[in-house]
């Protein structure tokens, strides 16, 4: 029964610390075995939780330059699930926010134009 050594010491789903003998995460309840069977072999490295903390400077960078955020998301998605999800979210916000602001300005401009015509 040495197969237990292949289990990650951190839950790949929620990042909680798990014991090497448990097959399901005590925090989120998801199976740790199916994750390994899904192609992630025994040598998969799970970083300590401290290394997988979403990084604020990179989140800000992703917000202003969404392309960088997407690249970082793809780069981190394997090793740092939490960090990658955060940077991906900010890239999306950074991509959508200018569109919404632009749309608001267009509506505002349209309404001002409409008001000045109706006089
Ligand atoms: Zn979990």
Residue 85 CA to ligand 1 center (angstroms) comes to 15
Comparing C-alpha atoms, which of 59, 85, 30, 56 is closest to residue 10? 30
Task: Please report the pLDDT score of residue 24 as a whole number.
Answer: 78
Task: Please report the pLDDT score of residue 62 as a whole number.
Answer: 94
Task: Please report the pLDDT score of residue 53 as a whole number.
Answer: 84
For the packed helices 81-117 and 66-76, what is the interaxial angle rounded to 10 degrees? 160
Task: Please report the pLDDT score of residue 75 as a whole number.
Answer: 92
Task: Please report the pLDDT score of residue 13 as a whole number.
Answer: 79
The model's pLDDT over 83-109, given as tens digits with 9 standing for 90+, comes to 999 999 999 999 999 999 999 999 999
Please state the pTM of the whole predicted model: 0.52
Mean pLDDT over 114-119 rounds to 83
Domain boundaries, the chain: 1-46, 47-119
- Which residues, by Cβ under 5 Å, contact ligand 1, an ion? 11, 13-14, 16, 25, 27-28
Residue 12 CA to ligand 1 center (angstroms) comes to 7
Residue 98 CA to ligand 1 center (angstroms) comes to 35
The model's pLDDT over 15-56, given as tens digits with 9 standing for 90+, comes to 888 876 777 788 888 777 654 444 544 445 566 666 788 889
User: What number of H helices and E strands is found in the chain?
Assistant: 4, 0
What's the pLDDT band for 4 if we cut at 50, 70, 90?
very low
């Amino acid at each position: 029964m040495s197969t237990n050594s292949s289990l990650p010491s951190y839950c790949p789903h929620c990042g909680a610390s798990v014991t090497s003998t448990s097959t399901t995460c005590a925090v989120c309840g998801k199976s740790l075995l199916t994750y390994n069977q899904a192609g992630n072999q025994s040598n998969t490295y799970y970083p300590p939780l401290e290394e997988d903390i979403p990084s604020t400077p990179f989140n800000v960078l992703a917000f202003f330059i969404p392309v960088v955020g997407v690249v970082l998301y793809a780069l981190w998605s394997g090793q740092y699930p939490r960090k990658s999800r955060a940077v991906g979210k900010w890239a999306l916000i950074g991509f959508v926010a200018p569109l919404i602001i632009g749309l608001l300005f267009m509506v505002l401009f349209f309404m001002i134009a409409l008001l000045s015509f109706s006089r």
